[in-house]
Amino acid sequence: MRFLIYRYNPETDDKPRMQDYDVALEPTDRMLLDALVRIKTLDDTLSFRRSCREGVCGSDAMNINGRNGLACITSVAGLKEPVEIRPLPGLPVIRDLIVDMSQFFKQYHSIKPYLINNDPPPEKERLQSPEDREELNGLYECILCAACSTACPSFWWNPDKFVGPAGLLQAYRFITDTRDQATNERLDNLEDPYRLFRCHTIMNCVEVCPKGLNPTRAIGKIKELLVKRTV
Amino acid sequence: MGLPVRTFDAVIVGGGGAGMRAALELARADLRVALLSKVFPTRSHTVAAQGGVAASLGNIEKDDWHWHMYDTVKGADYLGDQDAIEFMCRTAPEVVYELEHFGMPFDRLPDGRIYQRPFGGHMQEYGRNPVQRACAAADRTGHAMLHTLYQANLKVHTQFFIEWMALDIVRDRDGEVLGVVAMEIETGEIVIFRGRCTLLATGGAGRIFASSTNAFINTGDGLGMVARAGLPLQDMEFFQFHPTGVYGAGVLITEGVRGEGGFLLNKNGERFMERYAPNAKDLASRDVVSRAMATEIKEGRGAGKDADHILLKLDHLGSEVINRRLPGIREIAIKFANVDPVREPIPVVPTAHYMMGGIPANYHGQVVAPGATGPEEVVRGLYAAGECACVSVHGANRLGCNSLLDLLVFGRSAARQIIDDLKRNPHLKPLPDDAADRPLARLARLETQKDGERVAEVQAEMRRVMQAYCGVFRFGDLLKQGVDKIKEVAARAGHSGIGDKSKTFNTARVEALELDNLIEVALATMISAEARTESRGAHDRADHHQRDDANWMKHTLWYKQGNRLDYKPVHGKPLTVEAFEPKARVY
């Protein structure tokens, strides 16, 4: 199978290049990650992140034939050849398929992604109805792979100012958690021309999310809450 | 030696559940903590745990920590230390409530309390009836827990060193541990992290096997470091094969599927677990279920054209239950087995999953080793928690949902012990001159190695040998050959090399350094297994079919130097309750 893979090592390369690999895959090499691991046994200089190989750790997001996705749950069978593999767009490349995710995590951290509840904890669990818990579905499952934020033109232009779909999805995860007491503070934190309102509902995030989550919907809910708050 | 030195109160190696639970406790006590993780913390393998965390909350049915303790002792096939098991089961409800307070999105019951599901070996009334004890967030409990712990750490400003790989521990002539030598993966920079207390929370080593549920990163790094520092590894022959890994891919399918009512079928459509475990059936202990499956396959009743796997049926649960309680499983089955479990059974095989053995530690998280005062002398400055540690609460076979519990209980207790120890003795000893000699020599060898075999080839051979000679069923003659073979592979690993000499994010170098650790784990596992001439828990010897309490009710200790074995007694006495005396294990 033929692959065109983005290569760049700042120690030796002036600029990035696309390297052609033609490899014989084994029948067990079913996912793109299997193919990359196979290529690495032939050329150990090819660098990429990977861990769980089952789509839950979020390590191996990359741009595959022009679309962001996780290599470990992308079947090679469905890919058009040569398969063009590039690092996630919009973030600085450290080497080959490995990007510097600092900016992405900085935005995630900026929404205070932790439960805020200043009441003394009860002896047992805090109660939450199944319906209220249901609100967290489609939000808490995020694996922080950055496929969404790095597919978002608004994040490309303003990665330092726009929280981005991943961060906003998590912002809503805590806003809507009935156990959290900081809703107003969280909304204040987002009421800003850039942090929230740079989302122009292009919906690339929804299109690429490997977990089938919908950041655009969560962003819409936050906007609704802001409107509600002013009336 | 000229290496940069950074000094902390405590250095934690590993950003999974145990490391982050410990970091949280230490940061809340206002200590200066460095947490090193070779991946971004939420990529740690805790993320892949699915089914739940065990605690006798009794939210659905009457439950009691004494019953949980009994199940754990029995599940461990009586090799677990009963003091540590009592400590864990008694503490379980408290650490689960705490996790909920941190923000864990547990599933809920109609009255708002935490949802609990049945799981293998979880019983009421000392083994009588199944009980719903597994506290769950759908089938993503590990993911929800790991993210919750990371988030809680952000709140208290824990200092993370992300994509830093610890290479070796620093141990002085008195045997005291003074920190670790670590490499920043992005730059290749080597730094000594100096700390009064060093906690290893580096997780498992399932990657020693060809077919494993484990992530690529599960390479036993803490165990390798400990073995090279001259300390023993305990009970390494006990490696759990999870009954339901996806056939071909190895990806885990939670026991929660059977907890929710799924069951296993052979090629005749027979629910064969009824024959092997008439009472618990598909929810017997993992070792029992895995052996039953392997027996069905061995005797020609496997499914598929090669009669080499078993079918996990859950379509009768209905799409509503599957989508609500097991959504991740449906996703995995569609992706990795090409079947939609709403309609068809999932092809599964027993797959290497969990290391019961590890770095010998007590229930305070202190690493212990034989010394002048006895078989369990505290190694000053060194702590271990989570899968890398052998406390030993899992004995010869771990119960489902006791591993997430282990992370919470012992991550916290290790941190509390560290807080105490720092109060008692806050003084830092000077670093020895040779502090970084060992890791620097390992790196130098990789730099200069010529004509070596590729790391990937040696690793593949190691995994093949472990799978073929040290699997679900073990045979005396195969183990003997396996010992020779794995020693051969170890020698080859010592000369293996890498083509990539770059400083920048050199993952080939990382894999080579990981191979050093895997090899120690593989040697320890094979050699300990060859020596133990009985069957107990996950260790099943065809040539010694019975458990032999007279000769083998003892923990194994393996030392790297000379591949020497030693043994020490099992703690049969709990802390406050009556001991559970060994008896035949029936489910």
Yes or no, beta carbons of B457 and A11 under 8 Å apart: no
Catalytic residue among B194, B286, B509, B585: B286
Tell me the shortest Cα–Cα distance from B388 to chain A, in angstroms.
18
B331: closest chain A residue by CA: A211
> Does residue A231 surpass a pLDDT of 80?
no
Cα–Cα distance measured from residue A224 to residue A205, given in angstroms and rounded to the nearest whole number = 19
**β-strand partners of B512:** none
Q: What is the pLDDT of residue B215?
A: 98
pLDDT digits (tens, 9 = 90+) for A11-23: 999 999 999 999 9
pLDDT digits (tens, 9 = 90+) for B91-126: 999 999 999 999 999 999 999 999 999 999 999 999
> Does residue B319 surpass a pLDDT of 80?
yes
Q: What is the pLDDT of residue A221?
A: 98
- pTM confidence score: 0.97
Confidence of residue A230 (pLDDT cuts 50, 70, 90): confident
* Interface mutation vs chain A, best among B505, B510, B513, B515, most A CBs within 10 Å: B505
Residues 40-69 of B with CB under 8 A from A: 40, 42-45, 47-48, 57
Q: What is the pLDDT of residue B451?
A: 82
pLDDT digits (tens, 9 = 90+) for B272-313: 999 999 999 999 999 999 999 999 999 999 999 999 999 999
pLDDT digits (tens, 9 = 90+) for A50-70: 999 999 999 999 999 999 999
Q: What is the pLDDT of residue A153?
A: 97
Yes or no, beta carbons of A55 and B500 under 8 Å apart: no
A39: closest chain B residue by CA: B456
Yes or no, beta carbons of B456 and A45 under 8 Å apart: no
A125: closest chain B residue by CA: B97
Closest CA to B536 of B524, B554, B512: B554
Cα–Cα distance measured from residue B396 to residue B349, given in angstroms and rounded to the nearest whole number = 20
Residues of B in contact with A48 (CB under 8 A): 507
* Interface mutation vs chain A, best among B28, B94, B100, most A CBs within 10 Å: B100
* Neighbouring C-beta atoms of residue B307, cutoff 10 Å: 15
Cα–Cα distance measured from residue B488 to residue B530, given in angstroms and rounded to the nearest whole number = 16
B215 touches chain A (CB under 8 A): yes
> Does residue B1 surpass a pLDDT of 60?
no
- What are the residues whose beta carbons fall under 8 Å from the beta carbon of B62, sequence distance 6 or more? B124, B131
CB–CB contacts below 8 A, A to B: 158
CB A172 within 8 A of CB A222: yes
- Interhelix angle A164-175/A215-230, rounded to 10 degrees, is 60
Tell me the shortest Cα–Cα distance from B369 to chain A, in angstroms.
32
Tell me the shortest Cα–Cα distance from A231 to chain B, in angstroms.
31
Give the mean pLDDT of B448-456.
90
pLDDT digits (tens, 9 = 90+) for B127-170: 999 999 999 999 999 999 999 999 999 999 999 999 999 999 99
Closest CA to A68 of A77, A57, A58: A58
Q: What is the pLDDT of residue B87?
A: 98
Residues of B in contact with A43 (CB under 8 A): 499
Percent of chain A whose predicted confidence (pLDDT) is above 90: 97
Question: Tokens representing B511?
Answer: 């894999």
In the annotation, is B286 catalytic?
Answer: yes
Residues of B in contact with A11 (CB under 8 A): 502-504
Sign of CA dihedral A107, A109, A113, A116: negative
Of A45, A56, A121, which is closest to B47 when you measure between CB atoms?
Answer: A56
Q: What is the pLDDT of residue B426?
A: 81
Confidence of residue B425 (pLDDT cuts 50, 70, 90): confident
Residues of A in contact with B187 (CB under 8 A): none
B155 touches chain A (CB under 8 A): yes
What phi and psi values does residue A206 have, to the nearest 5 degrees? Answer: -65, -40
Cα–Cα distance measured from residue A209 to residue B233, given in angstroms and rounded to the nearest whole number = 42
Closest CA to B75 of B274, B288, B331: B288
Percent of chain B whose predicted confidence (pLDDT) is above 90: 98
> Does residue B538 surpass a pLDDT of 60?
yes
Q: What is the pLDDT of residue B452?
A: 84
Domains, chain B, in order of start with CATH, read 10-238+356-424 (3.50.50.60), 243-349 (3.90.700.10), 437-542 (1.20.58.100)
> Does residue B315 surpass a pLDDT of 70?
yes
Residues 228-257 of B with CB under 8 A from A: 248-249, 251-252
Question: Tokens representing A38?
Answer: 């196979």
Question: Tokens representing B228?
Answer: 């090279």
Tell me the shortest Cα–Cα distance from B308 to chain A, in angstroms.
16
Of B47, B248, B252, which is closest to A57 when you measure between CB atoms?
Answer: B47
A212: closest chain B residue by CA: B331
Residues of B in contact with A109 (CB under 8 A): 154
Residues of B in contact with A127 (CB under 8 A): 108, 111-113
Cα–Cα distance measured from residue B498 to residue B509, given in angstroms and rounded to the nearest whole number = 7
Cα–Cα distance measured from residue A138 to residue A172, given in angstroms and rounded to the nearest whole number = 11
* Interface mutation vs chain B, best among A26, A56, A178, most B CBs within 10 Å: A56
Complex ipTM tops 0.85: yes
Yes or no, beta carbons of A94 and B332 under 8 Å apart: no
Residues of B in contact with A50 (CB under 8 A): 216
pLDDT digits (tens, 9 = 90+) for B334-390: 999 999 999 999 999 999 999 999 999 999 999 999 999 999 999 999 999 999 999
